[in-house]
Amino acid sequence: MSEPNSTSGGLPQNGLAGLRQNWKRDANAGFLVFLIALPLCLGISLACGYPAIAGVFTAIVGSVVCSLLSNSELTIKGPAAGLIVIALGTVTEFGFTGGSDPAADFQAYRLALGVGVAAGVLQMGLALLRSGILSEFFPTAVVHGMLSAIGVIIMSKQIHTVLGVRPEASEPLALLTEIPRSVLNWNPEIACIGLFSLALLFLLPLTKIRCLRVVPAPMCVILFAVPLGLYFDLDHEHTYSFGGHLFGLGPSYLVDVPNNMFAAIALPDFSGMQTGTGWKWAIMFALIGSLESLLSAKAIDLIDPWRRKTNFDRDLMAVGLANVGCALIGGLPMISEIVRSKANIDNGARTRYADLFHGVFLFLFVALVPGLIHEIPLAALAAMLVYTGFRLASPREFIHVYHIGKEQLAVFSVTVLTVLTTDLLVGIGVGIAFKFILHVANGAPIRSLFRPHVTVDQTNEDQAVLSVRDSAVFSSWISLKRQIENAGEKSHVVVNLSETRLVDHSVMERLHALQREFEERPGTGSLEITGLEGHQSLSDHPFATRKRSGEFPPVQPH
C-alpha cells in the first residue's frame, strides 16, 4: 500500500491538465481501490437481491459520470452497504422470492430498476433546488442511529449465508433470533470458508506484518476463499458426510455471473411507478441515498490533503444522473462511498480521475475474466458484509454516543430500535421527533426550533457579532449557518450564545467544524464562539449539549 497522500508539489490541477499531471498516482490508487471494490460490489448486489454483476455496472457508470461532472475530487462512487436495506425492501415488495422462482425474481429486479431511474430523477430535482445543504439538517445521533440499524440488519441477513444456511425469517429481529438455528444446521465446509473469511477481515487490520498489509483485506479474503472453494469442488453438485449428517454442495454456493457482461444488461420496467409502493421506495432511495452520499462527500472533504471543497449540489446532480444511467442498464443505486474513498486517499489519489481508473479496472476485469468471478464463494462475500455491518453497528459507536451525552444515546437507541421494527423513514422520523421532545423538555422554546432568533451587530467593517437567543438546535442550524457565512465573508465573526437556553450537540459539533473551515479558507474572516460560560455541559465531551444553568435573563423584545 502506498504512503498516504502528500501535498508536496502544490494543488493538483483540474480537468485534463490534472489527468496529465497526476495519472500515474491516480491510476495506482484506482487499481488498489478496484481490489477492494470488486468483491464488495458483488456482495452488495447479491445482498440486495440483484444479480451479482449489477454492482459492477454501478461502479463503472458512477466512476465515469461522476469523475466528469462532480467536483468531489477524492470520493469513490459505487454501491454501498447503507442502501442494501432499501434495495432489498424494494425487490421484496415487488415479489422477490430469494431464488425459489427465478422468473418472479427477475421481474422484481426490473421493477426495482424502474424505481432506481425515478430515484435518480428525484435526486437531480433536489440538486436543481439546491438541496445539498439538507445534509446539515439531520441530527448527528439520528444519522448514526440509522447507520447502526442498517449494520444490524446487514449482519442479521448475511450471517446465515456465512454458515451456508438459508433462513426462514425475513424481518431483522426474527433473523437475529434464528441465528442459533442456523448454527445448529450449518454446512461445515461452507461455514469453514465463511468463518475463516470473517476471521481474516477482523485480524488483518491488526497485524503489523507489512507484507500482509500490502493487499487490501477484501482481496485477501478472495485469494483465500477461491482456492478453498476449488478444494471443496463447489463447481459440481455433490454431497459429503460430516458428524453423521449429509450435506450438499454445488455451484449454488458460488457467484453466478454471465460469460459476457453485456448479456447481463437488463432494462427497467416502469409499471411499478404506477403504484404507491414504487413511489415510496423511490423517495426512500432519493432521500437516504442523497443523505448518505452528501455526508460521505463532506467527510472526505475534511481529510482531503488540499482541503478542496465539494459543491454538494453539483455532486448530487452527478450522483442522480449516474443513478439514472445505472438503473437503465441494470445497476444498483450508488452513492459516494466513504470506506473506498478513504482508501483512495491513503493510496495516493490526487484527483477525481482515480475514481475513473477504478471503474476502468473493474470493466476490464469483468469483461476479460468473468470465469474468475464465478469461482468466488458466496460465503466469502457474505463475510465481508457481516464485517461491514459490524463496523456500522460497532459497540464502540454506542460507547462514543454515550460519552457525548445520555440524551444522545437515548435518541440514537430510539432510532435504532424504530428502524429495526419498522423501516428507515419511520425510524428517522421518530428519532427526530424524540429529539424535539428532549429539546423542549430541556427548555428550548418551541418558537425557536425551526427559526433561530439572531441579531447581527456590525460594529465595524472588520467584526460582526451574531447574538443568538432562545436556542440553537439542529433544525435551525441551516439558517444560522447562512447568517454566519454571510457575515464572515470579510469580517471576524463572533457568535454569542449567552442568551440561549439550549445549544444541542449537532450545533456544537458543526460550529467547531465551521470554525476550522474559516481558519483554512483563504481570504475570509475568523469565527469565535462565546457566551457558553453560564451553560451546563450535559457530559464531559467537548461537543456535548449545553443547557443554560440558573435563572435565565428576561428575553428582550425583538
Mean pLDDT of the chain: 92
* Structural domain ending residue among the three candidates 441, 473, 508: 441
Which stretch of DSSP H or E encloses residue 337?
Answer: strand 335-337
219 and 239 fall within a common domain: yes
162 and 90 fall within a common domain: yes
The mean pLDDT of 76-103, rounded to a whole number, is 95
Phi, psi of 502 (to 5 degrees): -150, 135
Residue 6 falls inside a structural domain: no
Share of the chain above pLDDT 70, in %: 96
121 and 242 fall within a common domain: yes
Residue 8 falls inside a structural domain: no
What value, to the nearest 5°, has the Cα angle with vertex 315 and ends 142 and 324?
95
- pTM reported for the whole predicted model: 0.91
378 and 436 fall within a common domain: no
- pLDDT tens for 473-491 read 999 999 999 999 888 766 7
Distance CA 282, CA 87 (A): 10
Domain count, the chain: 3
pLDDT over 70 at 558, yes or no: no
- Residue 401, SS3 per DSSP: helix
- What is the pLDDT, as a whole number, of residue 486? 86
Which residue type sits at 443?
G
The mean pLDDT of 506-528, rounded to a whole number, is 85
141 and 22 fall within a common domain: yes
Residue 473 falls inside a structural domain: yes
> By residue range, what is the domain housing residue 399?
395-441
Residue 7 falls inside a structural domain: no
Residue 556 falls inside a structural domain: no
For the ranges 116-120, 342-346, 425-429, the maximum mean pLDDT occurs at 116-120
- What is the pLDDT, as a whole number, of residue 1? 42
- What is the pLDDT, as a whole number, of residue 556? 45
323 and 402 fall within a common domain: no
* Structural domain ending residue among the three candidates 346, 361, 387: 387
Diameter over CA atoms, the chain: 87
Residue 9 falls inside a structural domain: no
Tell me the C-alpha to C-alpha distance, in Å, between residue 415 and each of 10, 81, 141, 209, 293. Answer: 44, 18, 8, 40, 20
- What is the pLDDT, as a whole number, of residue 164? 97
- What is the pLDDT, as a whole number, of residue 557? 43
pLDDT over 70 at 416, yes or no: yes
- What is the pLDDT, as a whole number, of residue 553? 47
Residue 322 falls inside a structural domain: yes
- What is the pLDDT, as a whole number, of residue 57? 97
Residue 20 falls inside a structural domain: yes
- What is the pLDDT, as a whole number, of residue 395? 94
Q: Which band of pLDDT confidence, cut at 50, 70 and 90, is reported for residue 215?
A: confident
179 and 43 fall within a common domain: yes
- What is the pLDDT, as a whole number, of residue 151? 95
C-alpha cell at 83: 442502501
pLDDT over 60 at 555, yes or no: no
382 and 476 fall within a common domain: no
Distance CA 175, CA 158 (A): 10
Cell 409499471 sits on residue: 271
147 and 160 fall within a common domain: yes
Residue 514 maps to which CATH number?
3.30.750.24
- What is the pLDDT, as a whole number, of residue 552? 45
Q: Which band of pLDDT confidence, cut at 50, 70 and 90, is reported for residue 207?
A: confident
Q: Which band of pLDDT confidence, cut at 50, 70 and 90, is reported for residue 105?
A: very high
Q: Please give, one letter per residue, the 3-state secondary structure of 207-249.
A: CCCHHHHCCCHHHHHHHHHHHHHHHCCCCCCEEEEECCEEEEE
381 and 434 fall within a common domain: no
- pLDDT tens for 264-310 read 999 999 999 999 999 999 999 999 999 999 999 988 998 999 889 89
* Structural domain ending residue among the three candidates 361, 387, 413: 387
402 and 509 fall within a common domain: no
Q: Which band of pLDDT confidence, cut at 50, 70 and 90, is reported for residue 523?
A: low
Distance CA 160, CA 320 (A): 34
pLDDT over 60 at 29, yes or no: yes
> Residue 382 half-sphere exposure, CB side, CA atoms within 13 Å?
27
Q: Which band of pLDDT confidence, cut at 50, 70 and 90, is reported for residue 3?
A: very low
27 and 119 fall within a common domain: yes
